[in-house]
Amino acid sequence: MRRPGLARALILERTWPLLLDALVGCAVLAAAYGMVATARYWLGTVTPAVEIARSPRALPAYAFYSVVRIAVAYVLSLVFAVAYGYAAAHSRRMESLMVAALDILQSIPVLSFLPGVMLAMVSLFPTRQLGVEFGSILLIFTGQVWNMAFSFYASLKAIPRELREAAVIYRFPRWQRFLDLELPYGAIGLVWNSMVSVAGGWFFLMACEMFVLGKRDFRLPGLGSYLQRAAGAGDTAAIFWGLGAMIGVIVLMDQLVWRPAIAWADKFKFEQVESAPPPRSPILHLLRNSRALAKLRQSTIAPLSERLGLYFSRRAAHIRAQAPPARWKRVLAGLAAAAVVAALAYAAFLTLASLKGIGREEMLGTLAGAGTTFLRVNAALLLAAAWTVPAGVAIGFHPRLARIAQPFVQIAASVPATALFPVVLLGLIRLGGGLGAGSVLLMLLGTQWYVLFNVIAGAMAIPSDLREVAGVFRFSRVDRWKIVILPGIFPYLITGLVTASGGAWNASIVAEYFHFKGRILSTLGLGAQISHATDSGNLDLLLLSTIVMAAMVVSVNRLVWRPLYRLSETRFRLES
């Protein structure tokens, strides 16, 4: 006669895999339904000037639309970041040019991309909702992608020499070196920068879902447009309803996406001794223990990956056998470079020709605003580094603290500071301040997370054996920071500061020019000038302001950040 406990255990053993498979199947069906519903809406006829309701009943549908836009923009950002970072890290001739281009692109504000991107997408799909939707997605993409590309590029440049030599000794082809060495080594930084990228997407969602270009009104149903309308009307209840819905979505994404990603990426940590217990995720456990997914991997994914590996190996050997002579490679590369230089020179000539209508007063005002915004950006960076470095190291070194703090950090990073700014601004006005100080606070709220998430990734990537050596030799707290922690996180810290700097310049467009209760509050600054030029449809002034902002960011990057990057690649590279 079986004992009741044994019978229950047998029943649970038999039914639990079925339950896991049922949950996975429901998730697949829900994703399929969401894709069909999204495609039906996007391919429908365009709806001009959508009326955004402030009723809480509209929030579920708005949340769904916003999540889809951010998800599509993130997938595009991930593909671009990996491809661009890989190309920049492996091309000696084009590396400097590609990094400089990345500096320029991350410094251009979202609103500067807005007119061209939106008008181009609407022109391509004049009768379909797809045009406006894809324009919004591309704008969110420009707010997400740059720090991911910087992170993957920096990870590839920091790969230890012994790992590169092992790949050469075992004659890994290029595709295998990418899949087995480079992509895994950059996984931890890429995951944490993905989280801050999505947080940046939420930050700019209000600008990307509801904006005005001259007399044309582009708006889309979503949480960003809901919050912007609530903030513009001064509806505090609607603001809190929108923030509550956004926080709920962020918590759900943290549990379903980011916690499994962090637990999965922990296996790529580079260390030579047994580390602390890895982070866990119930969702990742569910996926790993699903019998349906296991059969799918065994019957489809594994054979397909083997065939693709064999195909790419044979193709690489064939390409090497029939490779053109080195002289022809140099000739083709020279012709391509000449064509690129000619195209850039022609574009620069057209740009300068379009600025003939800019007067002396507008030019001086632009330079004065650039100087003021420069001071605000650096003040925000100093304040961000003062608290994010110790907090990020503490979170990265203590898995228990990371499990507790990560959801709160993710929520705080994803809540748009622009939605909270009306309350912050009213408080500053009552204390005797104004938008000048408030803009620094808004920049800080929007960009400090770039530094924090990179520091967390850097602290988690420090091998456990180095930390154990510091404990064995009884390093003091100062020596531990000086010898182990700061050198270990230095490459990640520089990446975070570079992207935070670009993000702060980008955030100036909403920090220095704000719509509140039917009024426009602005202060002297380059971001305010860009926002004002966009509202008034003054494309010449918008172009001038964008060029000045890009020039300032690139100059700072070349004079400050690039030398620090080279230092991180040489002196602070992790090697044995």
Statement: the pTM of the whole predicted model exceeds 0.85: no
Token pair of 288 as six digits:
């790993």
| CA gap 456, 399 in Å, rounded | 11
Q: Evaluate whether residue 494 is within a structural domain.
A: yes
Range of the domain at 458: 8-21+61-268+281-301+361-570
Token pair of 561 as six digits:
């950040």
Residues 6+ apart with CB under 8 A from 452: 196, 384, 388, 391, 392, 409, 413, 496
Residues 6+ apart with CB under 8 A from 45: 127, 128, 129
Q: Evaluate whether residue 38 is within a structural domain.
A: no
Per-residue pLDDT of the chain (576 residues; tens, 9 = 90+): 455 555 555 555 556 566 666 776 677 677 777 777 777 777 767 666 677 888 888 888 888 888 888 999 999 999 999 999 998 888 877 787 788 777 777 766 665 666 667 677 777 777 777 777 888 888 888 878 888 888 898 888 888 888 888 888 887 888 888 888 888 888 888 888 888 788 777 767 766 777 665 566 677 888 888 887 887 777 778 888 888 888 888 888 888 888 888 888 877 776 555 555 666 777 777 777 777 667 777 777 667 776 766 666 666 555 555 555 556 666 766 777 678 778 767 776 776 776 777 777 888 888 888 899 999 999 999 999 999 999 999 888 887 787 778 777 767 766 666 666 666 766 766 666 667 777 888 788 777 888 888 898 888 878 777 878 888 888 888 888 888 888 888 888 888 888 788 778 877 877 787 766 667 777 888 888 888 887 777 777 877 888 888 788 878 878 888 888 788 777 776 655
Q: Evaluate whether residue 275 is within a structural domain.
A: no
Domain total in the chain:
1
Which phi-psi region, left, alpha or beta, contains residue 500 (left: φ > 0; alpha: ψ -120 to 50)?
Answer: alpha
For residues 150 and 499, is the Cβ–Cβ distance under 8 A?
yes
**Percent of the chain as helix, strand, coil, to the nearest 5:** 80, 5, 15
Q: Evaluate whether residue 195 is within a structural domain.
A: yes
**3-state class of 549 per DSSP?**
helix
Q: Evaluate whether residue 351 is within a structural domain.
A: no
Q: Evaluate whether residue 136 is within a structural domain.
A: yes
Q: Taking Cα atoms as reference points, which of 158, 100, 149, 97 lies closest to residue 566?
A: 158
CB neighbour class for 169 (10 Å; exposed up to 12, middle 13-18, buried from 19): exposed
Token pair of 279 as six digits:
């982070």
Q: Which CATH number fits the domain that encloses residue 405?
A: 1.10.3720.10
Q: Evaluate whether residue 48 is within a structural domain.
A: no
Q: Evaluate whether residue 341 is within a structural domain.
A: no
